[in-house]
Amino acid sequence: MRLFSPLYRRAMVWARHRHAPWYLGGMSFAESSFFPVPPDVMLAPMCLAQPQRAWRLALLTTLASVAGGLFGYAIGYFAIDAMLPWLMESRYWPAYQKAVEWFGQWGFWAVFIAGFSPIPYKVFAVAAGALSMGLFPFTLASIVGRGARFFLVAGLMAWGGARMEALLHRYVDRLGWATVAAMTIGLLAFR
C-alpha cells in the first residue's frame, strides 16, 4: 500500500518552497517549548532538496530551537505552579519526573542528552526553568546538543544529496511501514 510515497513527494515540494526556512524556524522554536513534532522531519527533506544550503538550514534550526528552549525555560521558571496540574494529566508527566531526576544527577549533561536525542527536549527545558538551573549552562548545553543533532541530520542529507533522495523515494513506503511497525512494537513493549 503506497501511503508514504505521496506524503514524501508533498514534503519535497514544501521543502523547496520559498518560505520553507520561515516554516522550519517557526517549527523549531515551537517544538522546543510545546509542539510535539520534531524539526528533523522538515530539516531532512529541505537539506535533500537544497544540499548547498544544508549548513545554513542546520544553523537556523539550531538557533530557533535554542530560542524555543529558552521560552520553555521561562515557562518553567515563571509558570510551573500554573502548569503542574495540566502537566500531571498529560502524557509528558513521566518524562517531566525523569527530567527532574536527571537534573539532580547530571545537570548540564541532562540538557545536552535531551537536546541531541529523541527524548522530549521541551520537557527538559521546562524542568530546567522550574528547577532554576543556571541560564548559561542551560543555553550552552542546548546549543551544543541541538546543534550536534541538527548539523548531523543536515550533513547526512547533504552528503547523500540527489542519490539519497532517489533512494528514499524508491523505498519510502517500506521504510514508513517498518517505522510504524517498530513504533507499535515499542509502544506495546512499553505498556
Q: Which residues contact 23 (CB under 8 A, 6 or more apart)?
A: 14, 17, 42
pLDDT tens for 27-46 read: 889 988 877 778 887 888 88
Single-letter code of the amino acid located at 64: A
| pTM score of the predicted model | 0.78
Distance CA 21, CA 38 (A): 15
Contact indicator for 47, 153 with CB cutoff of 8 Å: yes
Residue 53: DSSP 8-state: G
At 70, is the pLDDT very low, low, confident or very high (cuts 50, 70, 90)? Answer: very high
Other residues' Cβ atoms within 10 Å of the Cβ of residue 10: 11
Say yes or no to pLDDT of 148 above 90: yes
pLDDT tens for 115-136 read: 888 778 888 899 899 999 999 9
Structure confidence at residue 169 (pLDDT): 65
